[in-house]
Copies of this chain bind each other. A is one copy, B any other.
Amino acid sequence: MTVTWQSFHFADRIPSTPSIGSTTVTSPDHVHLSFGFAAPHLFPIEQLNLGASEAIISSGRQALQYSGADGPGKIRQWIRARSEHHGIPAKEDEILVTYGSTQGIDLAVNVLLNPGDHVWVEAPSFFSALQSLRIAGARLTSFPIDEHGVRVDLIEQALLEAESSCAPLPKLLYIMPTFHNPGGVTLSAERRVRLAGLARRYNFFIIEDDAYMELNFTDEQLPTLYSLCPQRVIYLNTFSKIIAPGIRLGWAVAQKEVIQKMKLLMLGGSTGVFTQEILASLLERLDIEDHLGKLKNHYKHNRDIMAAAIHRYFGSDVEFHLPQGGFFIWLAFNAGVNTSQFLQLAADKGVSFVDGRSFYIGQEGLHYARLCFSYCNEEQIRRGVKAFAEAYYEWKSGEVQAG
């Protein structure tokens, strides 16, 4: 007997595309300039192994039990001290440990928004954040970035216009102010102060996603938006970029009443206690400044290798801002170029990248491409950029002939 199944109407909120930039490895020679990942050889494996043994042996049974949404305290003490080091005021009850910054974004979004609320984002912006906002039913408007970060002047102008025309004001601005993904740019001090003032004046929240802030190749450190306006900022950071992404732990800093609301949405209680205990043991035995120094030297060196390779293989056919930290170079081609059209061609030549349109809420950014310099080694970066250039010029010559 054949049963005929009626169709089932699944939720409308399911995104139609899988998460971007994390395709599985194809051939061993393939160069993944798409991966926004840390360099695996810099993971602190030895300390992690010692930390794991200690966590399991000495506090094993506790580490394997549930605990309330607060989780065990050691990690939060470390985060508090590190935040203070960066001028971020955070008491322990203003800190929430999350599954990576992805869960931080998701909790923040779900605490702040009802479906239909208006959210303003940067153009370009981090694709996972855009997807989280879409799933929450946010209405998105975007504002361009330049070499000093998002155009706060345009945001202010739009707020004024919305106010005078009684148009909806945003409830939330999602921003990555430091070593922006994908733009690589950092919001200037002057714009930070101005933006914090706007949040106060127009009563919207800011999610400050600061995932790359520790990977700063310079001595300059700017105040966080959180320190400028803690009442209207949820600050997010992660261990994924400074320890290892497989750990999947991050944190949020916000006023106690906001943290409490976020905890109420963490239905399963705290994030995995086991992993928190292991990470805490690791951090106790890790000289964090020394470790970060190694990471920054390596990533800065890789950035220079990639920038040189881009100059060599593209000449003046692309433009980019040289990032002073983080993982990414954001390439701008001429306006007519559509990088999505040579994604496959590049993959066939052994290199992957992320096309520009993935970072925009509409059909924009087609002539951009994101290249990541953190994951690959020197040789791979050179070979990858070369293959990427070959794909571009082959696509371009095809375009010219077709035209």
Q: Which of A's residues lie within 8 Å of B, judged by CB?
A: 3, 5-6, 8-19, 22-24, 35, 37-38, 40-41, 43, 45, 48-49, 52-53, 56-57, 60-70, 99-100, 102-103, 105-106, 110-115, 128, 131-132, 135, 171, 200, 203, 205, 231-232, 240, 244-248, 261, 263-269, 271-275, 277-278
Contact = CB atoms under 8 A, between A and B. Distances in A.
19 contacts: A5-B200, A9-B171, A13-B265, A18-B263, A19-B266, A23-B68, A24-B70, A40-B62, A48-B56, A52-B52, A52-B53, A66-B245, A99-B99, A115-B115, A128-B267, A128-B268, A132-B267, A246-B273, A248-B273
A248 B268 CA distance: 9
Given A8-B205, A128-B268, 17 more contacts: A9-B171, A10-B112, A11-B114, A15-B264, A15-B265, A35-B66, A40-B62, A41-B61, A43-B64, A45-B64, A49-B57, A49-B60, A63-B246, A99-B99, A247-B274, A248-B268, A248-B275
A203 to B, nearest CB: 4
Contacts of A49: 52-53, 56-57, 60
Contacts of A12: 114
Contacts of A110: 11, 13, 135
Identical subunits present? 2
A110 B128 CA distance: 17
Nearest to A201: B6
B19 A269 contact: yes
A111 B35 CA distance: 27
A246 B56 contact: no
A135 B247 contact: no
A65 B244 contact: yes
Contacts of A272: 99, 246-248, 272, 275
A68 B3 contact: no
Given A53-B52, A102-B267, A267-B132, A66 B22 contact: yes
B275 A111 contact: no
Given A111-B14, A203-B6, A274 B246 contact: yes
A6 B199 CA distance: 11
B267 A19 contact: yes
A20 to B, nearest CB: 11
A375 to B, nearest CB: 9
A56 B45 contact: yes
Given A102-B267, A264-B14, A68 B24 contact: yes
B68 A48 contact: no
Contacts of A60: 43, 45, 48-49
